[in-house]
Amino acid sequence: MNYADREKRRFAVTTPLYYVNDLPHIGSAYTTMAADVWARYQRLRGGEVLMITGTDEHGQKIQRTAQSKGPSPQEHCDQIVTGFEALWQLLNIQYDRFSRTTASRHEEIVKEFFNLVWSKGDIYLGRQQGWYCVSCEEFKEERDRTSDNRCLIHPNVKTEWRDEQNYFFRLTKYQQQLEALYKERPDFIQPESRRNEMRGFVKRGLQDFSISRVNLDWGIPVPVDSDHTIYVWFDALLGYVTALLEPEEPPTLANALAKWWPISLHLIGKDILRFHAIYWPAMLMSAGLPVPERVFGHGFLTKDGMKMGKSLGNTVDPSALVKAYGADAVRYYFMKEIEFGKDGDFKETRFVNILNAELANDLGNLLNRTLGMAKKYCGSTVPLAEIPEDNLLQQIGAGLGDRVCAAYEVLAFSKACAEIMALVQACNKYIDDRAPWQLYKEGKQSATEQVLYAVLESVRLAAYLLSPVIPRVSSAIYEQLGFSIDFDQQSSIDTGQFDSHASWGSLPANQKLGKAQPVFERLELVNAASMCDFSRSVG
Ligand code: MSP
């Protein structure tokens, strides 16, 4: 593998800015874990990364939630934000920026952007009539409602009829430019199925969309008309821009866009694709700014086939899951078991079974028993072994780094993990077939050492390549193999050594091995998913 001549690359990756109508649920955790895995992978390769997450705090949904609970909207937001921050800590998420749309710096950015689009003549006053879903914060066209005007995403919520004066954004003006964007940049919307969906939607014809609300104080005032507040989506998308400001920098668009723009990757769920793949690029085109490089719309986590969500009250509490099973377990399960881009159902029994089989048995026990043998047969040092060309593990391991990197690049997390685990599973079979205890008994020291080296090296490679997903387990494995690398501490990782660590065969001979200790304790089912307190949910 040769990355030596690659340019140093800069990546800004975002999660959605989550609504604060309630504490985070597993759906929000899912996107954030994926963003963190991708960010860690790019950092491991020496990329300069800015990972952005945050909260979307204005609008009717939040205002109503706060009203129903008692505190002022701002107090309510502040409370919920601490819940998000606590969960990201529990899940070991290494974000660089937390963008809150109620920050005063954000208001400055939104106003400047609004004025820019206004000066282009792309905003006008008109009359908005239609059915509004407060849970989506979106007007629902006929194709997105049931016959009795319920939202298709939130069938338990009735849409509300609105007839009011709003400011509109001239989306229609950008129809052709958007079509050209999708055509010229096939990677702009991923996966392919979502790209087709968006292209189809745009082809059927766009409508201008309203970007202000009347009779709603909880929002940023429209700079040209104080009777209106800016529509929550117009406001929230710009939260990505605000996040790019350095902490002490004056909040101007020029400052925000100087270093990290355009965003490399927006990670979102499929329900908010239109906003990111149609409205957002059109807004940026109007402002004369380059559009993001890539928007990836992942699938839904479902329960009984329905999207899990706060509005439907059928969610799983991610904090309870992490507290019961640990961050690496939760991260591994969602990245490995659900193909990113597709929907996936969550079942706790399956969760426990997969983790016990793959992390506790296949990976953990493998290391444990191999270190035990290395202690007995090689004095706990990495043996100096000549590995023949046709060694099975070497053959699987040889191109693994490239295959796994290719998978991480395109967010195929499940494929990346499956490729790595195939090596681990091959190790278990190899050890059983080669029976190093037997070889040792027969006095075949060099054959014994070959087997042990091949397995220890394969476990090392697996741990390295899995480190974006399960950094703690990987660090424990590295430590037991005699390295002093903590994958949670970027400063302890020599990214210049990426090529060597990501290739099979780099475990140094004579390295002193550490003490064998379980790297992943077996899990017992505790039904943590049902610990979720549904009474907090709002419609
Ligand atoms: N506030 C907007 C985003 C603004 S971004 C400028 C929003 N917030 S949200 O909290 O409702 O949803 C955030 C993300 O969570 C969306 O990407 C959504 O797809 C995702 N999920 C919500 N429920 C989900 C599942 N059940 N499964 C997977 N992801 C889901 O929309």
* Per-residue pLDDT reduced to its tens digit, 383-417: 998 999 899 999 999 999 999 999 999 999 999 99
**What pLDDT is attached to residue 439?**
98
pLDDT value of position 302: 86
Is residue 530 predicted with pLDDT exceeding 80? no
> Does residue 34 contact residue 93 with C-beta atoms inside 8 Å?
no
pLDDT band per the 50, 70, 90 thresholds, residue 155: confident
* Atom number of ligand 1 nearest to Cα 28: 15
The pLDDT of residue 370: 98
CA of 167 to the centre of ligand 1 (A): 26
Lowest mean pLDDT among 39-43, 92-96, 524-528: 524-528
User: What does pTM read for this prediction?
Assistant: 0.95
Per-residue pLDDT, averaged over 107-128, amounts to 97
What's residue 2's pLDDT? 41
Q: How confident is the model at residue 169 (pLDDT cuts 50, 70, 90)?
A: very high
Looking at the DSSP bridge assignments, the partners of residue 214 are 228
Beta strands, E only, 134-251? 138-140, 160-169, 189-190, 209-210, 212-214, 221-222, 225-230
Segment 172-176 mean pLDDT: 98
- d(CA 18, ligand 1 centre) in Å: 6
Please state, as a whole number, how many other Cβ atoms lie within 10 Å of the Cβ of residue 33: 26
Q: What is the model's pLDDT at position 328? A: 98
Q: Is the CB of 17 under 6 A from ligand 1?
A: yes
Report DSSP letters for 48-77, one per residue.
EEEEEEEEE--SHHHHHHHHHHSS-HHHHH
**Residue closest to 451 by CA, chosen among 374, 513, 360:** 374
> In whole angstroms, what is the distance from residue 133 CA to residue 474 CA?
44
- What pLDDT digit, counting tens, does each position of 366-380 carry? 999 999 999 999 999
Q: For residues 124 and 297, what is the distance between their CA atoms, to the nearest angstrom?
A: 31
Tell me if 279 CB under 6 Å of ligand 1. no
Type of residue numbered 489: Q
Question: In the structure, what pLDDT confidence band is assigned to residue 358 with cuts at 50, 70 and 90?
Answer: very high
What Å distances lie between residue 387 and 377, 451, 505, CA to CA?
18, 9, 9
Q: How confident is the model at residue 311 (pLDDT cuts 50, 70, 90)?
A: low
Q: For ligand 1, is residue 318 a contact (CB within 6 Å)? A: no
Closest residue CA from atom 16 of ligand 1: 269
Confidence label for 535 from pLDDT (cuts 50, 70 and 90):
very low
Inter-residue contact 381 to 512 (CB < 8 Å) = yes
- 141: CB partners within 8 A, 6+ apart: 130
pLDDT given at position 8: 60
Centroid of chain to Cα 214? 35
Query: Is residue 531 over pLDDT 60?
Result: no
Whether ligand 1 lies within 6 angstroms of the CB of 383 is answered as: no
Q: CA angle 416-420-423, nearest 5°?
A: 150
Question: Average per-residue pLDDT in the chain?
Answer: 93
- Residue 537, pLDDT > 60, answer no
Asked whether residue 49 carries a pLDDT value surpassing 50, the answer given is yes
Domains and CATH numbers, the chain: 328-501 (1.10.730.10)
| CB-count exposure of residue 176 (10 Å: 0-12, 13-18, 19+) | exposed
pLDDT tens for 214-246 read: 989 999 999 999 999 999 999 999 999 999 999
Distance from residue 16's CA to the centre of ligand 1 (Å) = 7
400 contact partners, CB below 8 Å, separation of at least 6: 419, 420, 423, 461, 465, 504
SS3 285: helix
Give which of 89, 91, 73 is closest to 19, Cα–Cα. Answer: 73
β-bridge pairing 138-140 and 123-133: antiparallel
Cβ–ligand 1 contact at 253 (below 6 Å): no
364 membership: H or E segment, kind and range: none
**399: helix, coil or strand?**
coil
Residue 285 has a pLDDT of 98
pLDDT (0 to 100) of residue 136:
87
8 Å CB contact between 398 and 504: yes
113 lines ligand 1 (CB under 6 A): no
For residues 89 and 43, give the distance between their C-alpha atoms in angstroms, rounded to a whole number.
19
User: What residue's CA is closest to ligand 1, atom 17?
Assistant: 269
The band of 142, judged by pLDDT with boundaries at 50, 70 and 90, is confident
**What sections of 70-174 are H helices per DSSP?**
73-90, 104-119
